[in-house]
Amino acid sequence: MEQFYKIYFTIAFLLIGLIFGSFYNVVGLRVSKKENLLFPGSHCPKCNHKLKPYELIPVFSFIFLKGRCKKCKERISIMYPFIELCTGILFAVSFYKYGFSTDLILALLLSSLLMIIVVTDLNFYIIPDSIIVAFGILIFIYNIIDKGILDACTYVVYGLLMFGLMYALMKFGNALFKKESLGGGDIKLMGILGMINKPIVSITALSLAAFIALPCSIYFLKKNKDKVIPFGPFIVIGFILIMFLGIDTNDIIKFLTRA
Ligand SMILES: [Zn+2]
């Protein structure tokens, strides 16, 4: 019977994730362009056709509209159903792994941050300050619930340390490559993610991010002429992997000191 509820809620979280993903598309695109989140309602960017409720169903609308606007037949970006589906899967995996717990809140926060940043960083090569501030506050509130107010303040200091480290890395990278290496958004992002773990774990997450970004950067360098690599999403992926794999300070010390 317990297994039944677990599957039932996992599917529920998948569906909730699809709806949130649809909203994160809107958040990522409109916040980057400094537009209002709610008005006007969703419309085709080409012909302004106002979308009816049945054209707003995550993933499914894209499939039965065959990826085109109903009125002017303009192609709809594959990015929309991709973000919706990824958010749904991340929400479902988060619930399946953590059930109803404080860890679930953090997993959902990181999943949401990742999907919004994928939209902003891949489309505009930016991570808007309002997104950083909003998630910084949410992570701080999560820390108060999970660890208490005193520890939450200690973890703010950890965040500032990671911000400083990332800033130093940028200065070093700029001097080494004689061009802009890390974006300001990446540095601020590291500042808020640094509030989640002890610095040694955050540094491991950052290393993991760089390791995954390396093969992908070859693709980005070939594809875009500006030679910009959106690193933000990889940083969040690093932190999500560390969380889902359950890697903590002890594992890292054991790894570093093994004979
Ligand atoms: Zn249209």
Long-range contacts of 164-170 (CB under 8 A, 24+ apart): 165/190, 165/199, 165/203, 166/190, 166/191, 166/206
| pLDDT for position 1 | 66
> Percent of the chain having pLDDT more than 90?
77
Ligand 1 centre to CA of 37 (Å) is: 20
pTM of the model: 0.92
pLDDT digits (tens, 9 = 90+) for 48-70: 999 999 999 999 999 999 999 99
3-state secondary structure of 83: helix
DSSP letters, 21-55, are: HHHHHHHHHHHHTT--SSSSPPB-TTT-PBPPGGG
Mean pLDDT of the chain: 92
Secondary structure letter of residue 230 according to DSSP? -
Ligand 1 centre to CA of 68 (Å) is: 8
Dihedral angle, C-alpha 20, 21, 23, 29, nearest 10 ° = 150
> Would you say 117 and 32 are in contact if contact means Cβ atoms under 8 Å apart?
no
> Would you say 136 and 195 are in contact if contact means Cβ atoms under 8 Å apart?
yes
Is the pLDDT at 23 greater than 90? The verdict is: yes
Ligand 1 centre to CA of 72 (Å) is: 4
pLDDT digits (tens, 9 = 90+) for 81-96: 999 999 999 999 999 9
Is the pLDDT at 178 greater than 80? The verdict is: no
Ligand 1 centre to CA of 73 (Å) is: 6
Ligand 1 centre to CA of 61 (Å) is: 14
Q: How many Å apart are CA 113 and CA 94, to the nearest integer?
A: 14
Ligand 1 centre to CA of 116 (Å) is: 24
Q: Which residue ranges make up each domain of the chain?
A: 1-100, 128-259
Ligand 1 centre to CA of 137 (Å) is: 38
> Would you say 78 and 49 are in contact if contact means Cβ atoms under 8 Å apart?
no
Ligand 1 centre to CA of 67 (Å) is: 11
Ligand 1 centre to CA of 233 (Å) is: 30
